[in-house]
Amino acid sequence: MSASTHSAKPIIGCTVYRHQDKADGALAMMALTTAYIQAIEQAGGIPLLIPLGLTTADLQRVLGLVDGVLLPGGGDIHPSRYHAPANPLIKSIDLERDELEILAAQTAVTQQKPLLAICRGHQVLNVALGGTLWADIASQMPDGIEHDFNHKKPRNFPAHTVAIQPDSLLAAQLGTTETAVNSLHHQGIRDLAPDLTAVATSSDGLIEGVEVRGHPFAIGVQWHPEWLVADNPVMPGLFRGFVTAAQNGRA
């Protein structure tokens, strides 16, 4: 490999969500909020959006071309994916997205490809590796604090703090063992997948950060760091660490 190839910006493959224009029902989109794109760009990476509906072979080819994978936030995962019954509080299911992102998570883990999983992505990573979820924290965790501030507060609202394990990769990226985070979710990790280590928790014990054991960089966080990079000085470090790992992990 030439020095110029190694120094080129790494490409970060980002999965997307579906969006239906309310004014025009025929105008369907696959999209990603600009906060993710800007956070990756500011950290020195090139975001590349991965559309839904790819065949397994086509997805595997794309994942072979990118240097890192980002799984963003979004709607709920279908409960059949974690062997749970239907729940009326589950919303915004997209079976095609579940299938693609679970495969993307499993592939990134198997191939030791840098992975950053955010909110829904954090939950996808746990489910992909054999864990389960609280379908609805407010109704299933009686001692839980409020976690769902979506549409109630600004997206950068510091809802609560998380405690981070001092010896974790996450703490190394953030440079701290405690930080305030936003909270825009109603689901969360219930049973931790066997290959994951819990490295951050909120005051009610909900797992807010995970890492894949034996992986050079595979981190999941329950909060949305992309909305905090301008307000919380530790958050850009997570994206810089991710992009750097993608840069260094090239064959």
Give the residue numbers annotated as catalytic, written as ranges.
119, 224, 226
Task: Extract the tokens encoding 238.
Answer: 């997570």
DSSP state letter for 249: T
Cβ within 8 Å of residue 38, ≥6 positions away:
226, 229
Q: Is 13 helix (H, G, I), strand (E, B) or coil?
A: strand
Q: Is 30 helix (H, G, I), strand (E, B) or coil?
A: strand
Q: Are 187 and 133 in contact (CB under 8 A)?
A: yes
Q: What whole-number distance in Å separates Cα of residue 53 and Cα of residue 26?
A: 18
Cβ within 8 Å of residue 13, ≥6 positions away:
48, 50, 62, 63, 65, 66, 68, 69, 70, 104
